[in-house]
Amino acid sequence: AGQDIANPLATILSFAMMLRYSFDMGDDATLIEDAVQNVLKGGLRTADIMQDGMAKVSTTVMGESLINELDKLV
């Protein structure tokens, strides 16, 4: 706890699933899913999914990057 190394994407994608299947908010879920995909396509990775040639980032940076990507999509 408190190390800023956890991958927030699974929790965020679970929230997107909740929007889609529990609240019938598919368009909003798609925005979140697209933002996650774009961030990953941009080469950002937390330590647990790190690959050669990618940029290793913290939980905070991953979250901020996702918010920035969502801002671009809306």
Cβ-contact 70, 16 below 8 angstroms: no
- What is the spatial distance between Cα 3 and Cα 6, in angstroms, rounded to a whole number? 8
pLDDT at residue 35, rounded to an integer: 99
The full set of domain ranges for the chain reads: 9-73
Consecutive 10-residue averages of pLDDT for the chain (74 residues): 95 99 99 99 98 98 98 97
pTM confidence score: 0.94
How many whole angstroms separate alpha carbon 19 and alpha carbon 44? 25
